[in-house]
Amino acid sequence: MSTTADPSTAETDDSSKETQLKQYLLDRVEDGELYFKSKFIADDVGLSPKEIGALMVKLSESATELTVEKWSYTGATTWRIEPAEA
């Protein structure tokens, strides 16, 4: 008997992880910009650095409440986040 992952379940998981990460970032940028590397917030959000990196790319395209920018790369990507301009 083989089991396969339900694609809709995987999509829902990704969506909830994206929502979780976005809320974490919104909470952190209330007072201004934030710089971080995925590996340093992984424990805070309960995701792996690799998952965070993939979700950051999605958020840079979809999150209207945040401005997401790849800031630099030294050992790992540093992300710059700030509240979106009104």
Find the largest Cα–Cα distance for the chain. Answer: 54
What CATH number labels 8-83? 1.10.10
What is the rounded distance in angstroms from the CA atom of residue 56 to the CA atom of residue 64? 13
Q: Is the pLDDT of residue 3 over 70?
A: no
Tokens of 44: 């805070």
Name residue 83's amino acid.
P
> Domain map of the chain by residue range?
8-83
For residues 71 and 80, the answer to whether their CB atoms sit within 8 Å is yes
Model confidence, pTM: 0.79
**C-alpha dihedral sign at 65, 33, 79, 22:** negative
φ, ψ of residue 40 to 5 degrees: the values are: -85, -15
Q: What is the pLDDT of residues 27-61, one digit of tens each?
A: 999 889 999 999 999 999 999 999 999 999 999 99
